[in-house]
Structure 1
Amino acid sequence: MSVGHNAVTAQVSGIAAVGPCDGDDCGIRDVLDRIGDKWSVLVIAELAKGVHRFRELQRAIPGISQRMLTLTTRRLCRDGLVERTAYATIPPQVDYRLTATGQSLAGAVLGLADWAREHKDVIAASRQQWDAEHSDDRG
């Protein structure tokens, strides 16, 4: 990626350009990969409603497996977006909540989720039209 492109991207996104970036789009791609995956968005959106226990999160997010929820919450904890609190009870209880950084992200995630809900039918119709018009292109 050229320095010029980075500067334009930085200006558009509101990130201060301080010179050439060192690979991986200045670290932006790594962050967007994490917060942009389906399960992370859904976990953050659910935790924006308040503290949840593991099973509450699992019930609130249709289709997520126990393993995927475990991986997603671990990654979000590692990134400092979610805080995990374990209580020494029998059976063990674990709560998840957004950190201050996670809360600052929640508005954008909820906005994106609202946008997706609002436009899903238009996008589905557009995809159907595209597929019908380009079905011969798949040879």
Structure 2
Amino acid sequence: MLNLIKLVVGVASLEDLAARQTLPQNMHAPAGSTVALPVVHTRAFPRQAEALLEGGSLYRVIGGMILCRQVLEAIETHTRADGSTGTLLFLSPTIIRVQARPMRPFQGWRYLTQADAPPDSDSTTADLPETLLRGLSEFGL
């Protein structure tokens, strides 16, 4: 399975991400649907879009840590207000916590194989505060 990973800019926590995704400008319906989903705007269209849509997720880096993922529902091109072409990544509204892992900054998005992706958080850490999860990750726990 193939995934994407992308930095989240201007968001300090998973709660901030969840709140931002419910804003009207961040919710759109994919072609042929009436259900609005959270959307991420990006410039480049992934060449391996078909593989991504076979169960892939968008992993999110917040504050230098991979903290969560959301299943990719659709990928579409669109025309921006300035006339340039962009890409919309439609996501499941469910934010799934993963085992926090440090990640250095990068631009745009990157492919992430399932073997390199952090596993989902287990029930013992799912309810821990984000600051504690970050600390545990820094200690390799």
Normalised to the residue count of structure 2, the TM-score between the two structures is: 0.29
Give the greater-gyration-radius structure (CA).
Answer: 1
Normalised to the residue count of structure 1, the TM-score between the two structures is: 0.29
Higher helix share: 1
Q: Higher RCO, 1 or 2 (CA under 8 Å, sep at least 6)?
A: 2
Higher strand share: 2
